[in-house]
Chains A and B, each alone.
Chain A
Amino acid sequence: MSAETGIGAAVKRREDLRFITGRGTYTDDLNVPGQTYGVFLRSPYARAKINAIDAADALQVDGALAVFTGQDAAVDGLGDLPCGWLVKSKDGSDMVSAPHPPLAVSQVNYVGEPYGLVVAESLAAAREAAELVAADFEELTPVVAAAEAAKASPIHEGLEANLAYDWELGDEAATDAALAAAAHVTRLDLTNNRLIPNAIEPRAALATFDPTSGEYELRTTSQNPHLERLVLSAFVQIAPEHKLRVVAPDVGGGFGSKIFVYAEETVVTWAAAKVGRPIKWTAERSESFLADAHARDHVTHAELGLDEAGRFTALKVRTTANLGAYLSLFGSSVPTFLYGTLLAGQYKTPNIHVQTHGVYTNTTPVDAYRGAGRPEATFVVERIVEAAARETGRDPAELRRLNMIEPGDFPYETPVALVYDTGNYQASLDRALQLVDYGGFKQRRAASEAEGKRRGIGFSCYIEACGLAPSQLAIQLGAGVGLYESGEIRINPTGSVTVFTGSHSHGQGHETTFAQVVSDKLGVPFDDVEVVHGDTGRVEFGLGTYGSRSLAVGGSALISAADKIIAKGTRIAAHMMQAEPDNVAFEEGAFISGNQRLTLQEVAFASYVPADYPPDLEPGLSEKAFYDPENFTYPAGAHIAEVEVDEATGVVQLVNFVAVDDFGHVINPMIVDGQVHGGLAQGAGQALLEHGIYDADGQLTTGSYMDYCMPRADDVPDFTVDTTVTPCTHNPLGAKGCGEAGAIGSPAAIINAVTDAVGTEDIAMPATPEQVWRKLHGL
């Protein structure tokens, strides 16, 4: 296909035209006749009993229509919000799940937890009425710090402890033995700071109900509308799937935070039928800070054993993961299967054991955010490897190279349950060292010192497992759903192509990339391919976009569907050309037999106007496929950060960042580079700026952009990005997934650079000027 629009071409995005002209359609941009407005009542306490809720005054407000409480929802039989991944403790017992009603009924367990919904004719009236709802709370002592949660008295009535699970992976005895025998053991205590995702579009929902048909329609900010529908139907039991349509229109960023099925869209959908009017709810940013799932928040102790030659012999990791007050949809899987399994990193460490305590606290639930478990794993591995290099006087790049899995070792089975299919970690590292001019670092350091600044360099050779996920493996590990993806290709009668995908784009550019894939595969013009996504009413099924799975899984489903189109088209073309199907080849959009040639367009037309047509074949040229990957994909790469630290102020400036990533085959390099840039900025945010802080009362004190420090344009440098390629061995595109790598690799690289500059063993993220200054002055 055309070199300008096919696989590998930096095609400009077709979705951009609507976004740059203000014609995007985000959920809050939508309005429907008869629409009312919802405002949620949220707990100001981290933990409190609800004694009574009095809405009498609120209902007197002009325009107020209804106030719903958790009691109302319970009476109506509205189900709890489920956790979709069952993790088992090492003793074989199921994780301990706290019931999670969409609206709190008798007790609130984190600041911001919704306990009621006010519906009114206007937003102003809803807000005014909400102020007049008198709730009588009895404050209880909260548990806030994860490290102390397991020992503290249980926050949930009926649960014996705050420990949701005590999970492990790997061989503990062998790991302990190897550590005991090691020539050197590096020990490190690490904190992975709590983050708040902060997609710039706040979450929103617009729900309608048609009493004549019993049909609900929910338009909402979702990364996976079909999963949303599945949960709302099967678990919350609002309506069966055929009576519930979920549409995710243009969505302004997700980063994981819009995967989950939240209380708000659940309650608004249910309430739309109760009031008999459409209800719209849009979060204010203050609500987003409290009510969007938070991320990371690990406390970890790690030990790495090395032999005399510097080879890693064992890695032992003990992590306490803060899960928040309830188990969010995938919250249980993040610090376990998406974390422990990645602790081999790029290295041949023969013995690994990880134990994760998942604990409840009176804080916002914690779930997946860009990288989800893999940034935490990379942070542990790459921080302790760097520390080991410093302790044993080895060059950090060379220590890594010494221990790397080599190209000839694949497929490589790690001691923590994964089989890496392919990679060339040395190639990424070599390229990154070249791009950063490692040899010139000493000179650059001297130049910085001449200006009163300390310069540091830090590495992070990460690996991740993405393209979630082989369904059977995922289900075996506790997932409640399969993790395949669906795709459908309709060749319209005149040959244009409509593509339906269960993936969802909220910034990733599927409308462009997927069109490139299909246009390339079927040899039809790029402009003749339209991509439809994000609507359960139009797309059969899908599992959505997260875990860098869209192209590797969703794109592969389209390849499978295209193969079916070609197979059927071949039979039609063979009939028309009076040839044997085996003698018909499909090349560049045409079926060829000897010197006869029929274009896909001609064959499509024949399939819809079947005059000259195989008698045993159905008319039409439309095929769908479900693609279930046989393994994860394993993007990997080398990230190198250089920082300058101002001795007088402690300010860290990220002055250079090189990322060389192996994503396998790349469909659109422009988009891939953009994904990496964004991930790197989020990683830089985690390392240097962002921190979700609760005070001892469980109040979120970084609850606005005045206190939660988002990376801004002048906080980050231009990034130097490049790719190396080892194609994924098990999907038809050879693609691995690029959405999360930047956020996975970069925090460790940056903190390694900061600690190098400052000359300290560790510095907690975010490395704020105050912290750095204290370290510089030995405080």
Chain B
Amino acid sequence: MNLTLTVNGVEHSLDVPANTLLTDLLRTQLRLTGTHVGCDTSQCGACTVHLDGRSVKACTVLAAQAGGRTVTTIEGIGSPDDLHPMQAAFRDCHALQCGFCTPGMILRAIELVEDGGALDNRTVREGLEGNICRCTGYHNIVKAVLAASDTMQEQSQ
């Protein structure tokens, strides 16, 4: 089937089998390999991307469902020269080790902050419940999200 969607600000028109998952479209067709696949039951969150600004687990979204919509992946939120505050905070707080869960974690964390609710240690932990990290014990991830939340709020003011 033919599909048009915007990924990281670039419009793509593609011909894909109807059963293509968004993860496959991103990783295989567009070679955006920053979106990772860590499980096959939509539990780990490594594949989290933004679909029209909301975080989704791309392993359970059909590419077709993203037709006409806007997808943002880890490659689209900042670059090495111009990091998103959440990316910078992850680095500053040592919130990643092997890096595999990191893209999904960052995208979910950005949404958590952008949702605008009051964040503290407990709410951040609850907000990240759908993303598994095996390396960090979450301690520094929580610190990073709270730090980035401050920066993002300052920037938006």
Contacts and interface: CB of A to CB of B under 8 A. Distances in A.
Say if the two chains contact directly (CB < 8 Å). yes
A199 interface: yes
Interface string B118-138: 000110111011011111111
Contact of A21 (B27, B87, B94, B138): B87
B139 A16 contact: no
A33 to B, nearest CB: 14
A252 interface: yes
B92 to A, nearest CB: 7
B129 A507 contact: no
Contacts of B124: 713
A329 to B, nearest CB: 21
Interface of chain B: mostly helix, strand, loop or mixed: loop
Contacts of A284: 40
Interface string B59-77: 0000000000000011100
A24 B44 CA distance: 19
B134 A719 contact: no
Interface stretch (A339-347, A439-447, A670-678): A670-678
B83 A253 contact: no
A294 interface: no
Contacts of A719: 137, 139
Contact of A681 (B96, B100, B102, B137): B137
B138 A200 contact: no
Interface residues of A, number: 57
Contacts of A678: 97, 134-137
Contact of B132 (A16, A24, A705, A742): A705
A158 interface: no
A706 interface: yes
Interface in A660-712: 670-671, 673-675, 677-682, 704-706, 710-712
Interface string A1-22: 0000000000011011111111
B106 A20 contact: yes
B150 to A, nearest CB: 17
Interface string A279-310: 00000111000000000000000000000000
A13 B94 contact: yes
B12 interface: no
Q: Pick from A18, A678, A710 the residue with the most CB of B within 10 Å.
A: A678
Contacts of B43: 704-706
A681 B41 CA distance: 22
A255 interface: yes
Given A23-B34, A706-B43, A713 B125 contact: yes
B156 interface: no
Interface of chain A: mostly helix, strand, loop or mixed: loop
Nearest to A670: B94
A20 B98 contact: no
B33 interface: yes
Nearest to A254: B98
A200 B98 contact: yes
A712 B139 CA distance: 11
B16 interface: no
B79 interface: yes
Contacts of A680: 137
Interface in A623-682: 670-671, 673-675, 677-682
Contact of B129 (A15, A674, A679, A712): A712
B99 A250 contact: yes
Nearest to A284: B40
| Interface residue tally on B, bucketed by range | 35 or more
Interface in B81-115: 83, 87, 90-92, 94, 96-103, 106
Contacts of B78: 21
B36 interface: yes
A718 B143 CA distance: 9
Contact of A253 (B27, B106, B135, B137): B135
Given A20-B91, A21-B79, A200 B136 contact: no
Contacts of A285: 38-41, 44
Contacts of A675: 97
Contact of B80 (A17, A124, A671): A17
B10 to A, nearest CB: 15
A22 B98 contact: no
Contacts, number: 179
Q: Pick from B97, B136, B138 the residue with the most CB of A within 10 Å.
A: B97
A718 B139 contact: yes
B141 A713 contact: yes
Contacts of B106: 20
A714 B126 CA distance: 5
Interface string A489-510: 0000000000000000011110
Contacts of B74: 20-22
A252 B129 contact: no
A682 B125 CA distance: 17
B17 to A, nearest CB: 8
Nearest to B101: A200
A415 interface: no
B96 A716 contact: no
A251 interface: yes
A367 B75 CA distance: 37
Interface in A503-529: 506-509
B132 A712 contact: yes
Nearest to A24: B99
Nearest to B90: A20
A532 B121 CA distance: 37
Contact of A713 (B34, B80, B97, B138): B138
Contacts of B139: 674, 677, 716, 718-719
A201 B33 contact: no
B3 interface: no
A681 B138 contact: yes
B35 interface: yes
Nearest to B43: A705
Given A507-B99, A677-B140, A705-B132, A671 B125 contact: no
Given A21-B75, A674-B139, 7 more contacts: A20-B83, A286-B40, A507-B98, A678-B135, A680-B137, A681-B138, A713-B133
Interface of A: 12-13, 15-26, 28-29, 124, 198-202, 250-253, 255, 284-286, 506-509, 670-671, 673-675, 677-682, 704-706, 710-714, 716, 718-719, 742
16 contacts: A17-B80, A20-B83, A20-B91, A20-B96, A21-B87, A22-B34, A22-B75, A25-B33, A200-B38, A252-B99, A285-B39, A674-B97, A674-B136, A704-B41, A704-B43, A705-B41
* CB-based closest 6 A-B pairs: A22-B34, A19-B99, A252-B100, A681-B137, A507-B98, A705-B43
